[in-house]
Structure 1
Amino acid sequence: MSLSDEKSLTFLLADDHSLIRQGLLFVIEDISTDSNIFQASTLQQVLEVVKTKEIDIAIIDAHFPDGNSLSILPEIRSLKPEIKILIFTGIDETTQALKYINAGANGFLSKMSEEDEIENALKNMMQFGEYLSPVTQRLLLSSLRNPNMANPISRLTERELQIAKLYTEGFGNLEIANQLDVKQNTISTVKKRIFEKLEIDNIVELIQLMNANK
């Protein structure tokens, strides 16, 4: 049974750009005239709506002024496991989609998509509770053959994982070097290698990725 067979659907449109939310609203209203729609422009607002409203489908951007939505997906899953989540974002699907799927999203859609694909994605979310583009489908198939793709943390060596965990606990290069009795520049080198393997740019992204793949 599809989601839309049961009742009118309630959407959460979460993006810090009002034009994106408005565009999604128009598409949803074209597909379904009987929908309730809430909006959010920060991660904090997303969590507030999820906690206080009965949301069926949440369409969420990847990046907000107050952080990356990757960090709240496990919390949404814990609070309301029945919510279907579509990540709608401008970040690169080929390198990022599996991170979000693995963290609890039911679909991933690029903002670069044509209007008909966006409409198709929303229809799939409404009917089946998920949307996997051809790109993401290929990534998932590849991840079955190579589990390291689905959980990027598993790419790290035991030593790299140990150091990554220390970073997430708030320790800096010098503190980690002292704890492990190695030179500070050794830790800096390992940090650079961790970032390259995980395709991230900073400690905040590392913390989010570690939390999402516990």
Structure 2
Amino acid sequence: MNELRVVIADDHHVFRMGLHKLLDSVPGISVVGEAADTAATVAAVVEHDPDVAIIDLHMPGGGGVEATEQIRRAEVRARVLVLTMHADHAMVRQAIRAGARGYLLKDAEPDEIIRAVHAVHANQAILDSAVADRMFAALADTNPANPFPQLTEREFDILARMAAGQSNPAIAARLGISPKTVQNHVSNVLLKLGVEDRAQAVARARDANVHRPT
């Protein structure tokens, strides 16, 4: 029986080591490569030709969604299992649209991760139960006030204004706060959404149909 070959992509070395050790302990699974950024992830998948690529979404160089898109375009056999801490439905949609076959949170039990690897290898769609619950709740709400509950009301307002194309000085003038305060809020938004820059935050907001203020 051929071994199930896996590449692990995560920019946190300790987490990557732990996952490597877990998977190597499973008969029939072999970790053949690791990566810590987007470019290295794609290169590792092309070089090692794994059956499954386990990818975190928040990595330097573009992130896991970008890596997943590049892997799909490379037309390799690897199927992508996203393993991340981000549970909001907008990020899930982006990952699935990019080509991910599974989406699991990092607090999943070891047995869940192993089952997900096998399922994705078998071309089965896997969605973390906590993520599924949040997506059902979002779909059931016909007028969601805030699709990003991790953001404060002020942070969400600023994100919506960013999505509307407003600059930091314009936002500051509109809200009656200093540009420095706006920049601090923007930094918090990027951190909480798990994105690297303003453009990615705006893309997330627009994908979630965030209301554009006037």
Q: TM-score, normalised by structure 1?
A: 0.61
The aligned counterpart of 1:12 is: 7
Amino acid at match of 2:198: I
Quick one: structure 1 residues 136 and 69, their matched pair in 2 at CA, closer, same or farther if it must change by over 3 Å? same
The aligned counterpart of 2:211 is: none
The answer to whether residue 104 in structure 2 is matched with residue 113 in structure 1 is no
Shift of 1:206: 4.3
Shift of 1:73: 2.1
The answer to whether residue 75 in structure 2 is matched with residue 80 in structure 1 is yes
- Kindly indicate whether the alpha-carbon contact (under 8 Å) linking 2:9 and 2:36 is maintained by their aligned counterparts in 1: yes
Amino acid at match of 1:104: G
- Kindly indicate whether the alpha-carbon contact (under 8 Å) linking 2:38 and 2:67 is maintained by their aligned counterparts in 1: yes
Give the unaligned 5+ runs of structure 1: 153-162, 175-183
The answer to whether residue 21 in structure 2 is matched with residue 29 in structure 1 is no
Work out the CA distance in 1 between the residues paired with 2:18 and 2:122. 20
Work out the CA distance in 2 between the residues paired with 1:29 and 1:120. 14
The aligned counterpart of 1:69 is: 64
Quick one: structure 1 residues 94 and 141, their matched pair in 2 at CA, closer, same or farther if it must change by over 3 Å? closer
Work out the CA distance in 2 between the residues paired with 1:95 and 1:206. 11
Shift of 1:53: 2.9
Quick one: structure 1 residues 208 and 13, their matched pair in 2 at CA, closer, same or farther if it must change by over 3 Å? farther
Quick one: structure 1 residues 34 and 60, their matched pair in 2 at CA, closer, same or farther if it must change by over 3 Å? closer
Q: Which has the higher contact order (CA 8 A, sep 6+)?
A: 1
Quick one: structure 1 residues 66 and 16, their matched pair in 2 at CA, closer, same or farther if it must change by over 3 Å? same
Shift of 1:119: 2.7
Q: TM-score, normalised by structure 2?
A: 0.61
What CA RMSD, in Å, does the superposition of the two structures yield over aligned residues? 4.1
The answer to whether residue 75 in structure 2 is matched with residue 89 in structure 1 is no
Shift of 1:90: 1.5
Work out the CA distance in 1 between the residues paired with 2:87 and 2:140. 22
The aligned counterpart of 1:125 is: 120
Quick one: structure 1 residues 34 and 107, their matched pair in 2 at CA, closer, same or farther if it must change by over 3 Å? closer
Work out the CA distance in 2 between the residues paired with 1:72 and 1:143. 27
Match runs of 1:1-214 below 5 Å: 7-33=2-28, 35-80=30-75, 82-94=77-89, 96-138=91-133, 173=167, 185=170, 202-206=197-201
- Kindly indicate whether the alpha-carbon contact (under 8 Å) linking 1:8 and 1:36 is maintained by their aligned counterparts in 2: no
Shift of 1:13: 0.4
Quick one: structure 1 residues 129 and 31, their matched pair in 2 at CA, closer, same or farther if it must change by over 3 Å? farther
Amino acid at match of 1:69: G
Amino acid at match of 1:113: A
- Kindly indicate whether the alpha-carbon contact (under 8 Å) linking 1:31 and 1:123 is maintained by their aligned counterparts in 2: no
Amino acid at match of 1:92: A
